[in-house]
A = this chain, B = another copy of it.
Amino acid sequence: MIIIARTALPGPELDGIREFVERHGLRTHVSHGTDRTVIGCVGDARAIDPHAVRALPGVEEVIPVRKPYRLASREFVAGRTVIPLGDRRGTLIGGPQLVVAAGPCSVEGRAMLLETATAVRASGARMLRGGAFKPRTSPWVFQGLGVEALELLAEARAATGLPVVTEVMDPRQVELVAAHADVLQIGARNMQNYALLAEVGRVRRPVLLKRGLSATVSELLLAAEHVMAQGNRDVILCERGIRTFETATRNTLDVGAVAVLKLETHLPVIVDPSHAAGRADLVAPLAFAAVAAGADGLIVEVHPRPSEARSDGDQSLTPAVFDDLMRALAPFAAAAGRTLDDEAPREPRARVA
């Protein structure tokens, strides 16, 4: 931690700051400048709240030196965390395989789900997505089929062999959802719902953690840290577009965040081009860009008849368009050193960490 004081002169303010820091077990190095003083604090600064230091007389600024996350950092795990999905040990996320999850925004019924699951599998998807509990901005619209949808997802998994990812919104339902799904999704709105993060941190299911609409990369990693601190280290991060002033797309896909995350953390990073685009005709270029920026996977909304969808119809691809997307994606995946083929990593590489 570095403290910048408003004065260059020794005196009671500087003494007060040094005493405060030293009382918390850190050592101080002082450099007097021409009109400010820099106080370097050596030791584990996590014991001190920088907000409290800022309240000391004479303090102008407090600069943390260490990253606030620990378990999610490359300093904690130097390699890459590779997470097996479902019981089929061939599908690993975070390694050379590019994993595409696809399926409807909401599970709307048995027939549509099976139709979609079969189609996306044939096109090369390696995970099935589908909402059972839907967070909806308005209370007056369709909120998902709930438990019935969970059962349909489990049936679709049995029929296609695809592991299933679905959102959980309530800490009281984590066990229920974990009993049906292979991966627990935390939606963007709940990225800082700490009661929920703690609960999914206690089950043995990978967690797909979506970035909040206005969360920084650092806050996304701290949200992962909340899950990991409870024991569950299998967190998959998901960039899905952030909220900016631009309205031409539903959200602004932040490919820079993908690139930063690949440097900052060992956790797998995927991208949701559907929610970023908000329009079916922009999903493909955003998917290509995500893979080019280094994403480990994608999660894409597919619906057999988008104009009948009960949510997100405008950004859902038809199975035929999804099939085109997957074909066009292959050379981008190859350029990024990835494969879409799940047979590739024949000897499942050892888990990192």
Interface residues of A (CB under 8 A from B): 2, 4, 20, 29, 31-36, 38, 40, 42-44, 46, 49, 51-56, 63, 65-66, 68-70, 75, 135-142, 169-172, 189-190, 192-196, 212-214, 216-219, 222, 225-226, 229, 241-249, 252-260, 262-263, 276-277, 279-282, 285-286, 288-294, 306-316, 328, 331-332, 334-336
A310:B254 contact, CB within 8 angstroms: no
- Chain B residues within an 8 Å CB radius of A189: 192-194
Measured CB to CB, the closest approach of chain B to A145, in angstroms, equals: 15
Given contacts A46-B140, A54-B314, 17 further A-B contacts (CB under 8 A): A4-B65, A29-B38, A34-B43, A38-B65, A49-B309, A51-B312, A53-B313, A55-B280, A55-B316, A70-B140, A137-B192, A193-B193, A244-B244, A255-B285, A288-B336, A332-B336, A335-B335
Chain B residue nearest to A216 in the complex (CB):
B246
A38:B2 contact, CB within 8 angstroms: yes
**Given A193-B190, A286-B256, A314-B54, residue A68 in contact with residue B2 (CB < 8 A):** no
- Chain B residues within an 8 Å CB radius of A70: 140
Chain B residue nearest to A135 in the complex (CB):
B194
Measured CB to CB, the closest approach of chain B to A213, in angstroms, equals: 5
**Given A51-B311, A260-B282, residue A33 in contact with residue B38 (CB < 8 A):** no
A257:B248 contact, CB within 8 angstroms: yes
Measured CB to CB, the closest approach of chain B to A243, in angstroms, equals: 5
A137:B52 contact, CB within 8 angstroms: no
Q: Which of A256, A258, A280, A292 has the most CB atoms of chain B within a 10 A radius of its CB?
A: A256
- Chain B residues within an 8 Å CB radius of A51: 309, 311-315
- Chain B residues within an 8 Å CB radius of A316: 55
Q: 24 A–B contact pairs at CB < 8 A?
A: A2-B2, A29-B31, A31-B42, A34-B42, A36-B66, A54-B313, A138-B222, A138-B225, A171-B171, A189-B192, A214-B245, A217-B246, A241-B256, A242-B245, A242-B252, A244-B252, A244-B254, A246-B256, A249-B260, A252-B254, A255-B255, A259-B286, A262-B285, A288-B292
Copy number in the complex reads 4
Selected from B137, B256, B281, the residue in CB contact (under 8 A) with A252 is B256
Measured CB to CB, the closest approach of chain B to A332, in angstroms, equals: 5
Selected from B68, B172, B194, B249, the residue in CB contact (under 8 A) with A171 is B172
Q: Which of A136, A142, A262, A331 has the most CB atoms of chain B within a 10 A radius of its CB?
A: A331
